[in-house]
Chains A and B, each alone.
Chain A
């Protein structure tokens, strides 16, 4: 399983850059074992139960095989012994923007987060490598009693809440990568929204990987108490690396009775990143969970945001797009588990494959016995841009209740000749016309994004479409 060194030369990648960050406060050696896990836990000064949890999870990671159904050609290239499992760029967490170290600020500036936007965005948790280095919570959030911090701080300051909910949605044994995350996690966000509180502005966090062969294992836990609402946005842009990076997050959402959580992700890792993520939500009675999930970057993404609909009247939505070009495999999808009557789910998945890229939709809709009145609709559309690309659809529906309405539909096609002809007859070039059609294809997703993300996404697609025709 030797890691193949690869030279990544890609002049088109506008967002690719790499900051010189040599002053790491702590950097563990490569590879993972019980000593490393112990070091991480001690560095963080964690309670014993968390330390035990990490060690137990590591044993599970070692014992679990790689998933047999996955893209084993790409997965097999991961060398778990050639990855740093923990590092921290700065020991002190910034209390205010001025306290944030200058080199890190520079990285954020180059990420293109404008000052005006920062004010608007409210609480910003900015993750730099494995640790949150800066976060601020706007005063009105504090006044409402909303807790928003990095996961490590959450554990220190609100151990009771964390302990009650941590790993209850995604146990370490769920899969090999959730076990790995459970053993070596650092960073990620902790959010707790009190009953009845509506968080009006989206909470955001920027994640970055910024060291060669650097693994990143965020752990995010969002708890929305009854009747509350929160929208969390996670966006990524990663610098250029010369060897593969592993990113394996675990995200747990708990929407209590009548609560509403929306979780938006724009994943644009550089094309050498393995993005193997476990995301799952619990929705109690009349709760509503939405995953808005965009996958543009990475080498291999495996991500199937799920909603376990545990209470009557709960609702789960997934709206996702995937874009795969040369050397990329977007293996994404969704799971909806209907474990209560009158629950509803809606999955809309759109994918584009280009230049030999591969997109896969993998999904499950499960309805348990006695869950009458369940409605589920799954819609997958795939566009293939050339004869070298590939698209797979693997939906599964398991229905054990009678009075339900379960529907699935999928189509795979290329950009229609008539569509192209029509747009080009209005005076556009083939590239412009294709870009416009692909943007239109993604439109239902893009319109759910905050303005600045939508603008950036449209720009990215335009960039990607260059050279796709002719």
Chain B
């Protein structure tokens, strides 16, 4: 058993304290996560999965847990329909086997992040959102995080339900490591947006894990404009036959911002479909690294998978790495991926200039157009109109340097 761990400060006695009052299975899961955490060294530039993340000068040691402080909004009408939110700690006591199964097995993925294990061991309170079977949620459910080292959310969309959930991060402390587990039950349809507008010196980690049952549908959007370093791991497991996933990403990076996104499209059953579009526009000395994998298991016949990563470099100092991967073990599949890196298209720029636009305005419009496709694919204008407004002031500064 682990002793006091100097470098993390997160040790067994702390985890046991955090876990006080929780059911035994949950405490066990926390301690198992701590074991995994202690088995993983602090990542450096040689660690698999971290090689391209610039870690220099950043203090990534785990802070002692604080928070979370958040604002959660569920409309009255939806509350009446039975949509409910509680702390995860309370929900765990309800004896709901679904939640237990979900939390106990969520980590069994391909994740190499020690921050997921960290959050799993050191989270406090947590948020649990439950959408009952058959309910169509009328207004987007909103969670705004203001503070918190290890925010953890669990989300269950009951069979044939429909909902949009927006999770906005505005933490400004040195480090925040969040974890979201989603279970999309048979026939349910969930839209989930992860909006990251953290402070300019924050290292922000987000781990998102979703399991889709039969004929379930999930659309995720990772919208990133904040933080000093943002590392997101988005894993979607298409467990049920006929499940469908759309994964979207949008990054606008400036200054010395560092974005490191990892994705998994896991086709575990036949007749599953996944689509992924991650778009990055990089200004100043910012850097983006994208690593994504499509896995099609043996027997997952008639899987249809697509993955695209598009990068626009807006400045001489900006850099982009991309590593889209395929691991295919079934033959009756259609699987395609593509990646591009380049500046704004000369022809588009010329066209816009010929219409009388100043070069900076032209660049702004072209980047807006570049992002438009992502917003449209999300398919909920109530969410994306607000996000367009959030990214727009940044686009006005293209090429200004910082």
User: How far apart sit A396 and B301, CA to CA, in the bound complex (Å)?
Assistant: 27
Docked-complex contact B328 and A399, CB < 8 angstroms: no
Counting from the closest, the 8 A-B pairs by CB-CB distance are: A384-B331, A393-B326, A406-B341, A412-B335, A402-B313, A399-B341, A414-B331, A409-B338
A391 adjacent to chain B (CB < 8 Å)? yes
Docked-complex contact A407 and B340, CB < 8 angstroms: yes
Chain A residues near B299 (CB-CB < 8 A):
387
1/0 per residue, CB under 8 A from B, across A382-407: the answer is 10111111111111111111111111
B140 adjacent to chain A (CB < 8 Å)? no
B322 adjacent to chain A (CB < 8 Å)? yes
CB contacts under 8 Å to A, within B320-375, are: 320-343
User: How far apart sit A244 and B316, CA to CA, in the bound complex (Å)?
Assistant: 51
Docked-complex contact B328 and A408, CB < 8 angstroms: no
A72 adjacent to chain B (CB < 8 Å)? no
Docked-complex contact A409 and B321, CB < 8 angstroms: no
Known pairs A387-B299, A408-B339 / 7 extra A-B pairs, C-beta < 8 Å:
A388-B298, A395-B325, A397-B320, A397-B323, A402-B315, A406-B341, A406-B342
A410 adjacent to chain B (CB < 8 Å)? yes
Size of A's binding interface in residues, CB under 8 A: 35
CB < 8 Å neighbour of B337 from A397, A403, A405, A410: A410
B326 nearest CB across to chain A (Å): 4
Chain B residues near A385 (CB-CB < 8 A):
331
A77 adjacent to chain B (CB < 8 Å)? no
B114 adjacent to chain A (CB < 8 Å)? no
User: How far apart sit A457 and B326, CA to CA, in the bound complex (Å)?
Assistant: 28
User: How far apart sit A168 and B330, CA to CA, in the bound complex (Å)?
Assistant: 43
A411 adjacent to chain B (CB < 8 Å)? yes
A413 adjacent to chain B (CB < 8 Å)? yes
Chain B residues near A407 (CB-CB < 8 A):
338-340
In this complex, what residue of B is CB-closest to A353?
B331
B297 nearest CB across to chain A (Å): 11
In this complex, what residue of A is CB-closest to B332?
A414
B232 adjacent to chain A (CB < 8 Å)? no
Docked-complex contact B329 and A390, CB < 8 angstroms: yes
Chain B residues near A402 (CB-CB < 8 A):
313-318, 343
Chain B residues near A398 (CB-CB < 8 A):
52, 319, 321
22 contacts between A and B (CB under 8 A): A382-B328, A385-B331, A387-B331, A388-B298, A391-B328, A392-B327, A394-B325, A396-B322, A396-B323, A398-B319, A398-B321, A402-B316, A402-B317, A404-B313, A404-B342, A407-B340, A408-B324, A408-B337, A408-B338, A410-B338, A412-B333, A412-B336
CB < 8 Å neighbour of A412 from B48, B320, B328: B328
User: How far apart sit A151 and B327, CA to CA, in the bound complex (Å)?
Assistant: 40
CB contacts under 8 Å to A, within B285-331, are: 298-299, 301, 311, 313-331
Docked-complex contact B298 and A387, CB < 8 angstroms: yes
User: How far apart sit A68 and B338, CA to CA, in the bound complex (Å)?
Assistant: 26
User: How far apart sit A86 and B92, CA to CA, in the bound complex (Å)?
Assistant: 67
Docked-complex contact B341 and A397, CB < 8 angstroms: yes
Chain A residues near B341 (CB-CB < 8 A):
397, 399, 404, 406
User: How far apart sit A399 and B322, CA to CA, in the bound complex (Å)?
Assistant: 8
Chain A residues near B339 (CB-CB < 8 A):
395, 397, 406-408
Chain A residues near B330 (CB-CB < 8 A):
384, 387
Chain B residues near A369 (CB-CB < 8 A):
319
Size of B's binding interface in residues, CB under 8 A: 37
How many pairs, one residue from A and one from B, have CB atoms within 8 Å of each other in the complex?
A: 108
A457 nearest CB across to chain B (Å): 23
In this complex, what residue of B is CB-closest to A417?
B332
In this complex, what residue of A is CB-closest to B327?
A392
Docked-complex contact A394 and B319, CB < 8 angstroms: no
User: How far apart sit A403 and B317, CA to CA, in the bound complex (Å)?
Assistant: 11
Chain A residues near B324 (CB-CB < 8 A):
393, 395, 408, 410
In this complex, what residue of A is CB-closest to B321?
A398
Docked-complex contact B336 and A411, CB < 8 angstroms: yes
User: How far apart sit A395 and B320, CA to CA, in the bound complex (Å)?
Assistant: 14
Docked-complex contact A400 and B335, CB < 8 angstroms: no
Docked-complex contact A397 and B321, CB < 8 angstroms: yes
Chain A residues near B326 (CB-CB < 8 A):
391-393, 410, 412
1/0 per residue, CB under 8 A from B, across A57-68: the answer is 000000000001
Chain A residues near B311 (CB-CB < 8 A):
399
Docked-complex contact A400 and B325, CB < 8 angstroms: no
1/0 per residue, CB under 8 A from B, across A204-244: the answer is 00000000000000000000000000000000000000000
A403 with B343, Cβ < 8 A, contacts A387-B298, A394-B323 known:
yes
Docked-complex contact A395 and B323, CB < 8 angstroms: yes
Docked-complex contact B340 and A406, CB < 8 angstroms: yes
A299 nearest CB across to chain B (Å): 20
Chain B residues near A391 (CB-CB < 8 A):
326, 328
Chain A residues near B320 (CB-CB < 8 A):
397, 399
Chain B residues near A389 (CB-CB < 8 A):
329, 331
Docked-complex contact A410 and B336, CB < 8 angstroms: yes
User: How far apart sit A68 and B46, CA to CA, in the bound complex (Å)?
Assistant: 12
CB < 8 Å neighbour of B335 from A386, A390, A406, A411: A411
B356 nearest CB across to chain A (Å): 25
Chain A residues near B301 (CB-CB < 8 A):
387
In this complex, what residue of B is CB-closest to A69?
B48
B265 nearest CB across to chain A (Å): 13
B224 nearest CB across to chain A (Å): 19
CB < 8 Å neighbour of A397 from B298, B322, B328, B332: B322
B315 nearest CB across to chain A (Å): 6
User: How far apart sit A382 and B321, CA to CA, in the bound complex (Å)?
Assistant: 23
CB < 8 Å neighbour of A393 from B48, B316, B321, B337: B337
User: How far apart sit A269 and B298, CA to CA, in the bound complex (Å)?
Assistant: 29
Chain B residues near A382 (CB-CB < 8 A):
328
A266 nearest CB across to chain B (Å): 26
User: How far apart sit A362 and B330, CA to CA, in the bound complex (Å)?
Assistant: 20
Chain B residues near A400 (CB-CB < 8 A):
319
In this complex, what residue of A is CB-closest to B322?
A397
In this complex, what residue of B is CB-closest to A376?
B341
Chain A residues near B331 (CB-CB < 8 A):
384-387, 389, 414
User: How far apart sit A392 and B328, CA to CA, in the bound complex (Å)?
Assistant: 6
Chain A residues near B322 (CB-CB < 8 A):
396-397, 399, 408
In this complex, what residue of B is CB-closest to A378?
B339
Docked-complex contact B328 and A384, CB < 8 angstroms: yes
B311 nearest CB across to chain A (Å): 7
In this complex, what residue of B is CB-closest to A410?
B337
Chain A residues near B325 (CB-CB < 8 A):
392-395
User: How far apart sit A400 and B282, CA to CA, in the bound complex (Å)?
Assistant: 12
In this complex, what residue of A is CB-closest to B320?
A399
Chain A residues near B340 (CB-CB < 8 A):
405-408
Docked-complex contact A409 and B336, CB < 8 angstroms: yes
User: How far apart sit A181 and B340, CA to CA, in the bound complex (Å)?
Assistant: 37
A180 nearest CB across to chain B (Å): 23
In this complex, what residue of A is CB-closest to B331?
A384
B41 nearest CB across to chain A (Å): 15
B284 nearest CB across to chain A (Å): 11
Most buried by B among A399, A401, A410, A411: A399
In this complex, what residue of B is CB-closest to A381?
B336
Docked-complex contact A413 and B334, CB < 8 angstroms: yes
In this complex, what residue of B is CB-closest to A354?
B331
In this complex, what residue of B is CB-closest to A383?
B331
